[in-house]
Amino acid sequence: MANRAIGARRQEILRAAAELFAAHGFHGVSIEDLGRAVGTSGPALYRHFPGKEALLAAMLLDVSERLAEGGRARVATAPDPATALEELLRGHIAFALNEPALITVHDRELPNVAATDRHRIRRLQRGYLEQWVEVVGRLRPHSRPATLRAAVHATFGLLNSTPHSAGEVAKDEMADLLLTMGRAALLAPR
């Protein structure tokens, strides 16, 4: 069985596509560009994805699932809300630092996928956000849910800004910095 490397090409394409989409935007990357990035030329991609839009959908679906699943696992094993928040922060920061291109595409290109996939992805994203809201809500019982949602969203903006300031600061220090800033931002208002 050659199942060993099944989908290996797919993953390689997705990774390369993430870099290109992050750098130039979905509409700024052509099928030819995508092919060239993995050593083939153009239409070879249609052996792995039904189209450009479907490729983006697969990518966003994967990211959203990984974020939501990772968050769930971390929250489930945390003994208290404070630890849960700590874990959510660490998980998200690790993701943002290790796969900056994916994070960038994840919060920019949703409008470019077909309605069916878009709804599934949005539900996953909302589920992830609600995990955060619930945890922070226990630490800030006097804040309205709408306020909490806005605060969590703002925190995502903070954590996801990593790709734009890469390189200047070592990864470990950056992780510490983001953790401190994120925690302070989320818990400051009360």
Q: Which of residues 36-95 bind its own copies (CB under 8 A)?
A: none
CA 53 to CA 125: how far, in whole Å? 19
Listing DSSP states for 24-82 in one string gives H-GGG--HHHHHHHTTS-GGGGGGT-S-HHHHHHHHHHHHHHHHHHHHHHHHHT-SSHH
- Residue 146 within binding range of its own copies, rule CB under 8 A: yes
- Residue 139 within binding range of DNA, rule CB under 7 A: no
- State the virtual CA torsion across 151, 153, 155, 159 in degrees, nearest 10: 180
CB under 8 A: which stretch of 11-19, 39-47, 74-82, 142-150 binds its own copies? 142-150
- Of 158, 127, 129, the C-alpha closest to 146 is 129
Residue 44, contacted partner among DNA, its own copies, none, CB below 5-8 A by kind: DNA
- Residue 23 within binding range of DNA, rule CB under 7 A: no
- Residue 11 within binding range of DNA, rule CB under 7 A: no
Judged by CB under 7 A, which of 32, 69, 80, 173 binds DNA?
A: 32
Give the tokens for residue 169.
Answer: 């600061």
CA 115 to CA 185: how far, in whole Å? 34
Q: Which residues bind DNA (CB under 7 A)?
A: 1-2, 9, 27, 29-33, 35, 40-44, 46-48, 50-53
Q: Which residues bind its own copies (CB under 8 A)?
A: 23-28, 107-108, 111-112, 146-147, 149-151, 153-162, 164-165, 168-169, 173-174, 177-178, 180-189
